[in-house]
Structure 1
Amino acid sequence: MQLAAIREARAAKVAEARRILATAETEKRSLNPAEQSAFDKFKAEITSLEADEQRATFMEDCERRALGDPVGDRSFSAVQRQVNVVEVIRAQMEGRSLSGAAAEFAQETERRTGRKAQGVFVPLSAIESRAVNTTSTAPELVPTIHRADQYIEPFRNSLLARRLGVRVLSGLSGNLSIPKHGTGTTVGWVAENAALPTGDMSFDGVTLAPKHAGGITEQSRQLIMQSSPDIEQLVRDDLSFMLAQAIDSALIKGGGTNEPVGVLSTSGIQTASLATLSWQNVLAMLQKLDIVNASAANIVASTKAKAKLAGTLKAAGIAGYILEGGKVGDLPAYFSNQVAEKTGTPNTGRVIAGDWSQVMLGIWSEVDILVNPYAEGAYSKGNVLIRAMATVDAAVRHPEAFVVADDLAI
C-alpha cells in the first residue's frame, strides 16, 4: 500500500473511532460493550496502519537517498519551513541560481509533480498570512526611520477553511479519482423456503482536476532589496492576499467559472431553516447530521450572523444565549466575511454545521513565483512585477456531512 493510501485509511479509521466516542459523549454515558469492541478494533487497526506508515516513510526516504536526492536526508516539511520568499524573488531579479532550502524545495517539487515551473516553486504554506506592502521616500533634510516591524496592516477577511481541518492532498500530477461506496447489499427477513431479497453493491467516485488561481503584484525595488526579516514577512503577506483568500473562498463557496466547487455549491448538502432563530431550530439543524451518522465538528457563519446568535436567548426569560464563549452548544464557532451572505431583499446570513475533514484540497502546484523586472510601467520606476499562481481543486467526500441554513435574518 502506498504512503498516501495508508494515511487515507488511517484518517478514515480515526474518524470512525472519534464518531463512536462522540456518540457516547453526546448521550453522556460510557461506551456499551458493542461500542467498546468496535473502538478497540479501530484502535488496533490504527496502530497497525501507523506502523505501516512508518515503514513506508522509511522506504521512501531510503529510495530518495539512493537516487542522490538531498531532500531525502531530512524532512521535506523542514525544507519548506526554511524557504525565504524574498530570497527567491531577489535571485530572479539578479539572474542567479537558487541556493539552500529554496533550491531543494523547487527541485523536489518538480520531481514529485513531474512538471517544470514557469518561474520558481515555493510552498503554499509559506505565504498563508495577509497584508500589503509599500515603502516611503525620506525627505531630503529630515531623516525618516523606517520601522517595518510597526507596519500597519489593512483589515482582511479571516481565512477559515484550512484552519478547520480540510484534508490536503499535495504532490498531485494527473487528475484524481477517489472511489466511494454507493449502496450495499440488500438484507431482509423471509418466510421458510422463500427467496431472499437481492441487491448488488454499487460504487461512486469523487474526482479532482486542476484549477488555476493567480495574480500579479507590483513591488518596489527598494522593498525587495531589503534584507530585514520584516520585509520577508511583508512580501509573504502580499502574495498570500492574492492566493490564500481565493483558495479559502473556493473551499467554502466556490462553483463559479473555472473555480473549484466548494461546500456551499456542492450538490447533496443538507439544508435547514433558521428564519425563526430558536434553540430548538438549531438543535433540529444538528440532528440532521446525527440522522445520517455524520458528526458536527464546528459551526461556521458569516460575521453578521455572529451578533444575531450571540444576542438570542436559548429560551425566553432564561439566562443562556445560543452563542456563548465562542461556542454554539458544545461546538466551536467561527465567523468570517469569507462566508458570503445570501443576496436578496433583504440579504440573509449563512450558518454551516458540519465536519470540514470531509473536504479535500488537492494541490498540483505549490505557489509558482515568476518575477518580471522589464514590464513597461514597473521598469520605468525600477520596480518589478511578481506573478504568483497555484493549481488546486476541492471536493467534498460526503456532502451530507454538512447542513446549511441560509435564511438567518441579519
Structure 2
Amino acid sequence: MLKLSELLEKRAAAFARMKSAQEEGGDTFDQAETEVRDLDAQIKRARSIDDMERREAGTPLHGDRQLDTEIRSRFSLARAVAGAAGLAVDWGFEREVQQELQQRSGRAAKGILVPTEIFERRVLTSTGDGAAIVPTDYRPDLYISALTAASVVRGLGATVLTGLTGNLEIPREAASPAIGWVAENSALPTGDADFDSVTLSPKHAGAITEWSRNMVMQSSPQVEQLLRNMLARDLALAIDRAAIKGGGANEPDGILSTAGIQTQAYAASIMDTTAEMIAKADVANVDARRSFLTTNGVKKIALKTKDGDGLPIGIPTIFHNEPVTFNNQVPTNLGTGTDEHGLIYGDWSELLIGIWSELDILVNPYEASAYAKGNISIRAMATVDCAVRHAAAFVSATGVEVA
C-alpha cells in the first residue's frame, strides 16, 4: 500500500499530464482524468486511515481482553522502575506495554511511560481505610492514589480529553445572528454568526525524586501501592491547582485565571452571596448541572452561621441545596494583603482538561548523590492543559474573607 505522500505525488504528476493534454483531447486526457479520480479516492481513504490511527487508543495486547484490564492486573510500577534502572528483575510485560503507550501518546518516551490505569486500581478495589496496604506508619489513607477519581475537579465533572498529539483548537459559537419580527414587505435584520475557538496546548508538570534500591527491588503489594500513591498524589494535586486557578509561569490557565468569568462581590453573608451567584448563572443560561467549590475556611464560616434563634442554619440551606465541595486546593490568598478565599460556582463540564501523555518516568541510577547511596533518581512528568469553553459558565465570588 502506497503512503499518503506517495499518492499525492502520483496525483500531482497525473494532473500535470491531464492539463498538458487538455487542448489535445483524446485518450491521453481521459486516461489522466481517470487516474486522478482513482487517486483522489485512494487519497481520501489514506487520509481517513491516518486520522483514525492518530485517534486510535491502541490495540489490546490480547484480542480477548481489554488492555486497561490487563494493565491493571499485571503492570508493576516497581518492576518498571527497577528494570529501567538495570536491576535484575523480570519486567517483560512492562516493556511490552511501552509500545502500546507510545502509540497512545503519539510520541517516543523520554524514559518509560506509565499508564494512568494503574492509578485507578486502588480507588476501584479498596473499601477500607488503607491500613492493610502498608505499615501503619505510612498512613496510606492520606494519599491521593488516582488521577481520575481522586482529582477534585474531575469528580465535579470536568471534561477530560485524552490521546492528544498536538495543539487542539475547539470551535466555539460566540454569537448568533439576530432574529427579528418584521412587517410584510419589510427587510429582515442582518447579522452574521460569530465563531472563535478554545485552544489547548501542551504544558509540562513533573518532579525529580529519589527512591532507595530496596524500595524498587521490593516486590510486595504494599510497596507497589505506595509508589503509585506517591506519584499519583503529587500529579493529581498539581493538575487540580492548575485547573482551579493556574495562570503562573508555564502553567495552564485555570478557572480563576480565565478572562471573562462572572464575578460576584461578597454580599453581606455567605448565604446571600451564593444566592446572587446562582442568579447570575441562571441569567447566563448556564446548564443546570452546577455545583460550588470552595475552601474549608468558608466551610467553617458556614457551619458557624446561625439563624435569629441562635441555631445553625446548615450547609445545605446556606448553599441553597446546590452540591458543594470543600477542598484545600482552592486558593485562600486571592486578595492583596488579605486572606480572601476562593468560592466558585458553575457547570464543571465546561472545564476542559487535555492530556497529551501518560505518566513519563526517566530512571537514572547513576546520578551522583543517589549513586553514592545505592539509590535511584527518578524524574516523573505529565503533559496537560486546561481551558474553559464558556467563561460565563462560572461565577467567582470576590472579597470572601475568613477571619
For Structure 1 versus Structure 2, the TM-score category normalised by the shorter chain is: 0.7 to 0.9
Aligned to 2:159: 167
Q: Please give the alpha-carbon distance, in whole angstroms, between the structure 2 residues aligned to 1:267 and 1:64.
A: 34
Q: How does 1:136-155 map to 2 (within 5 A)?
A: 148-153=134-139
Q: Please give the alpha-carbon distance, in whole angstroms, between the structure 2 residues aligned to 1:90 and 1:293.
A: 53
Corresponding letter in the other structure for 1:289: A
Q: Please give the alpha-carbon distance, in whole angstroms, between the structure 2 residues aligned to 1:237 and 1:356.
A: 26
Aligned to 2:24: none
Corresponding letter in the other structure for 2:153: A
Partner residue of 1:303 out of 289, 292, 296 = 296
- In the superposition, the TM-score normalised over structure 2's length comes to 0.74
Partner residue of 2:257 out of 261, 265, 270 = 265
Maintained 8 Å contact 1:352/1:404: yes
Maintained 8 Å contact 2:316/2:322: no
Task: Please give the secondary structure, in 2, of the residue aligned with 1:272.
Answer: strand
| Structure 2 CA distance for partners of 1:329 and 1:165, relative to 1, 3 Å | same
Q: How does 1:228-377 map to 2 (within 5 A)?
A: 228-294=220-286, 295=288, 297-313=290-306, 315-317=307-309, 319=311, 321-324=313-316, 328-341=319-332, 342-377=334-369
Task: Please give the secondary structure, in 1, of the residue aligned with 2:266.
Answer: coil
Cα drift, residue 199 of structure 1: 0.7
| Structure 2 CA distance for partners of 1:64 and 1:269, relative to 1, 3 Å | closer
- In the superposition, the TM-score normalised over structure 1's length comes to 0.73
| Structure 2 CA distance for partners of 1:240 and 1:68, relative to 1, 3 Å | closer
Maintained 8 Å contact 2:79/2:90: no
Q: 1:93 aligned to 2:85?
A: yes
Corresponding letter in the other structure for 1:367: L
Task: Please give the secondary structure, in 1, of the residue aligned with 2:172.
Answer: strand
Aligned to 1:207: 199
Cα drift, residue 112 of structure 1: 2.8
Q: 1:110 aligned to 2:105?
A: no
Q: 1:388 aligned to 2:390?
A: no
Deviations 1:357-393 (A, max 9, x none): 1111111111001111111011011000011001111
Task: Please give the secondary structure, in 1, of the residue aligned with 2:285.
Answer: coil
Q: Please give the alpha-carbon distance, in whole angstroms, between the structure 1 residues aligned to 2:352 and 2:152.
A: 14
Aligned to 2:4: none
Corresponding letter in the other structure for 1:378: A
Cα drift, residue 185 of structure 1: 1.8
Structure 2 unaligned residues grouped into runs of 5+? 1-51, 123-132, 145-149
| Structure 2 CA distance for partners of 1:64 and 1:217, relative to 1, 3 Å | closer
Number of aligned residue pairs: give it: 331
Maintained 8 Å contact 1:159/1:338: no
For the pair shown, the structure with the greater C-alpha radius of gyration is 2
Aligned to 1:77: 68
How big is the alpha-carbon RMSD for the aligned residues of Structure 1 and Structure 2? 3.0
Q: Percent identity?
A: 42
Corresponding letter in the other structure for 1:208: L
| Structure 2 CA distance for partners of 1:271 and 1:309, relative to 1, 3 Å | same
Partner residue of 1:120 out of 109, 112, 117 = 112
